[in-house]
Chain A
Amino acid sequence: MVSLLDIIGPVMVGPSSSHTAGACRLGLLARCLVGGTPQRARLELHGSFARTGEGHGTDKALAGGLMGFRPDDERLREALDIAEREGLDYKFEKTTLAEDSHPNTVRLTLERGDRQATMTGSSLGAGRVLVTEIDGYPVEVTGNYHTIVLVAEDVKGSVARIATILSEHSINIATLRLTRKERGGDAFMVIEIDDLPGDEVREEIRGLPWVRWAFRLDKVSA
């Protein structure tokens, strides 16, 4: 359903909702994977992101997002200078990802302390984004909700256990998708939630013996 406020918005730094606001949101999502502003970032730009990126400030918007700037933050204009001052060592590369990749796609490889992560995401237009890969696992994360993504061994009752942990912390589940490649193989869960969970929730989920890894991606839509 189209909302009136989606039409009169978002408030954003120009010039392009897909190349600037969307790129910023992808940076914001990616920083969640390493728990803050990364020290090193390799950004591989595909398609129109590579071709018209600088004219649209895509590089500034991605770096700004990695530092936690939101799409309406005027610091995006100077984000590359700020990154150099703040010790974010970034490197942009042009690449050609899979042929069916969306034209506005970026793959990020990030390091912060002992944490490392990779993420691939696309900017779909009007500032909407879709994360399609995290650490090699295919996902679909829109950033319209706070989201928990996790990979777990395919054990019975895993969904119930996770749902219980969230419920114990008064977190309401909006959507939950469970996928696995094969019976008994790794199960992949993407859980969109209404309330922002604290770090203790992630730690509790990570502490489950059958969970391989879990991330929290914070909502980036307006």
Chain B
Amino acid sequence: MYKALGDAIRDAEAQKIPLSQLALETEARDQGRSVDSIRAALQRALDVMRSAVAQGMTGDLYSASGLVGGDAAKLRTGPDGPLAGTPFRDILARALAVQEVNAAMGVIVAAPTAGGAGVLPAVLTGLAAARNIDDEALVSALAVAGLIGAVIAERASLSGAEGGCQAETGAAAAMAAGAATEMLGGSPSQVGHATALAMQGTLGLVCDPLGGLVELPCVFRNATGSAIALTGIELAMAGVEFKIPVDEVIDVMGEIGRNMDVRYRETAGGGLAATPTGRRLAKERLVQIKTK
């Protein structure tokens, strides 16, 4: 796979093909399998994403600790806010829904990780529903997301323990922004700007879950991550360009992660996890494995 998104954008534009096609053909060559079989695997991922959204949107799901759950339902049936009836509110609900399924031990696609698994399904299926976009285009969008994620994995990190939440929900937002931009008709260079615009908004974000569990704030970080992805998409589709090249933004995410204190890398030693209430809730709710 490509190690620089800039190289992929250059090659796609030179060949006058979408980034998704370039990503699929590169993956086919790398892995010695057909484009059709890769598309079939991505279709299966899409199906699982969609069923996670559906499950989380229709049921009240709670985590083992009870720390998170039931909030996707509030966005569906609760009082209107200023964004009622818009795709934006629907996408926030979908992001919470997938993470509530995850916290309740439901089936999700770790894309790029379980902790950041709500953003891609929320943004892609939410926009596809709003704009009547078919599965073929959604599968192509997932290929773009995979390309962006692979570049981030290569140049920076996709692990909260290594790079903080910027490497999980931040990476997910960048992947979703780029993927949706192609899905909505953006050019390869617009995909790059959308990715950079989303990622710049999550730089420095720490990983600070209560008790070290993928629950709080992870569920909500997927909603805010989706909002940041939508910002990147809207700006890039309007022709806004981010002056720092996307690969340099990814590099700096990795650099910030490497310099981040270990307290802010999934250890529950700092951030929200270490607030007085965070510590109290973790102590009250963190159930231990029964030893007998």
Report whether A14 and B143 are in contact in the complex, using a CB–CB cutoff of 8 Å: no
A16–B1 Cα distance when bound, in Å, is: 26
Known: A54-B287, A92-B289. A127 touches B110 (CB 8 A): yes
Within 8 A of B (CB), among A1-27: 1-17, 20-21
Q: How far is the CA of A45 from the CA of B290 in the complex (A)?
A: 11
Cβ of A207 within 8 Å of any chain B Cβ, yes or no, is no
Chain A hits for B215, CB < 8 A: 15, 55
- Per-residue contact bits, chain B 110-137, to A (CB 8 Å; 1 contact, 0 not): 1111110100100000000000000000
Partner of A20, one of B111, B114, B175: B114
Across the interface, name the chain A residue whose C-beta is closest to B268. A52
A57 lies within 8 A of chain B by Cβ: yes
Determine how close the nearest CB of chain B comes to the CB of A25; give it in whole angstroms. 13
Interface core residue of A9, A51, A72, A76 (most chain B CB under 10 Å): A9
Partner of B150, one of A4, A14, A17: A4
Interface pair B287/A55, CB less than 8 Å apart: yes
Q: How far is the CA of A12 from the CA of B112 in the complex (A)?
A: 12
Contact of A5 among B41, B153, B154, B289 (CB under 8 A): B41
Q: Are A12 and B107 in contact (CB under 8 A)?
A: yes
| Chain B residue with Cβ nearest A7 | B149
Answer whether residue A212 sits at the interface, using C-beta atoms and an 8 A cutoff: no
Is A14 a contact of B291 with CB atoms below 8 Å?
A: no
Interface hits, B20-60 → A, CB 8 Å: 23-24, 27, 30-31, 38, 41-42, 44-45, 48
Select A17's contact among B24, B30, B114, B211, beta carbons within 8 Å. Answer: B114
Which residues of A, 37-73, contact B by the 8 Å Cβ criterion?
45, 48, 50-60, 72
Q: Contact check, A52 vs B211: say whether CB atoms are below 8 A apart.
A: yes
B110 touches A21 (CB 8 A): yes
How close is B27's CB to chain A, nearest CB, in angstroms? Answer: 4
Once the chains bind, are A59 and B289 in contact (CB under 8 Å)? yes
B103:A15 contact, CB within 8 angstroms? yes
Tell me the nearest residue of chain A to B31, going by C-beta. Answer: A3
Contact status A54-B288, CB under 8 Å: yes
Inter-subunit contact A14/B149 (CB<8 Å): no
A93 at the B interface (CB under 8 A):
yes
**Choice from A3, A10, A12, A72 contacting B1 with Cβ under 8 Å:** A3
Size of the chain A interface, CB-CB below 8 angstroms: 43
Provide the residues of chain B in CB contact with A20, threshold 8 Å.
105, 114
Question: Which residue in B30, B106, B290 is a CB contact (below 8 Å) of A92?
Answer: B290
Q: Are B103 and A14 in contact (CB under 8 A)?
A: yes
Q: Check if B146 is an interface residue, CB within 8 A of chain A.
A: yes
Nearest first, the 9 closest Cβ-Cβ pairs linking A and B are A14-B102, A4-B146, A7-B149, A2-B150, A15-B214, A55-B213, A52-B212, A4-B27, A54-B289
Using A4-B27, A17-B114, A77-B105 as known contacts, list a sample of 17 further A-B pairs with CB atoms less than 8 Å apart, ordered by residue number in A: A3-B30, A7-B112, A7-B175, A8-B109, A9-B45, A9-B110, A11-B48, A14-B103, A14-B104, A15-B214, A55-B65, A55-B287, A57-B105, A72-B107, A74-B106, A76-B105, A92-B289
Are A74 and B107 in touch, CB under 8 angstroms?
A: yes
Mostly, the A contact residues are: mixed
Take A14-B214, A57-B64 as given contacts and tell me if A7 and B146 are in contact as well, using a CB distance cutoff of 8 Å. Answer: yes
| A71 CA / B35 CA spacing, docked (Å) | 26
| CB–CB B289/A8 < 8 A | no
Q: Which of B1, B104, B145, B287 contacts A8 (CB 8 A)?
A: B145
> How many angstroms from the CA of A92 to the CA of B290 in the assembled complex?
7
- Closest Cβ of chain B to A47, distance in Å, is 11
Residues in chain A near residue B149, CB distance under 8 A: 4, 7-8
B64 contacts A55, C-beta separation under 8 Å: yes
Q: Which residues of A are interface residues toward B (Cβ below 8 A)?
A: 1-17, 20-21, 45, 48, 50-60, 72, 74, 76-77, 91-94, 125-127
The reply to whether B110 and A10 form a contact with Cβ atoms under 8 Å apart is yes
Chain A residue at minimum C-beta to C-beta distance from B42: A8
Q: Which residue of chain A is the closest to B23 with respect to CB atoms?
A: A4
User: What residues on B are CB-neighbors of A93 within 8 Å?
Assistant: 291
Shortest distance between the CB of A41 and any CB in chain B (Å):
12
Quick one: which of B23, B108, B120, B142 contacts A12, CB cutoff 8 A? B108
Q: Closest CB-CB distance, B151 to chain A, in whole Å?
A: 8
> Would you call B289 and A91 a contact (CB within 8 A)?
no
CB–CB A7/B153 < 8 A: yes
CB within 8 Å for A15 and B105 given contacts A55-B64, A126-B159: yes
Q: Does B252 sit at the interface, judged by CB under 8 A?
A: no
Chain B residues whose CB sits within 8 angstroms of the CB of A15 once the complex forms: 63, 102-105, 114-115, 213-215
Q: How far, in whole Å, are A57 and B213 apart by their CA atoms in the complex?
A: 10
B30–A1 CB distance below 8 A: yes
Alpha-carbon distance between A68 and B46 when the two chains are bound, in angstroms: 26
> B211 contacts which chain A residues (CB < 8 A)?
52, 55
Return the chain B residue nearest A94 by Cβ.
Answer: B291
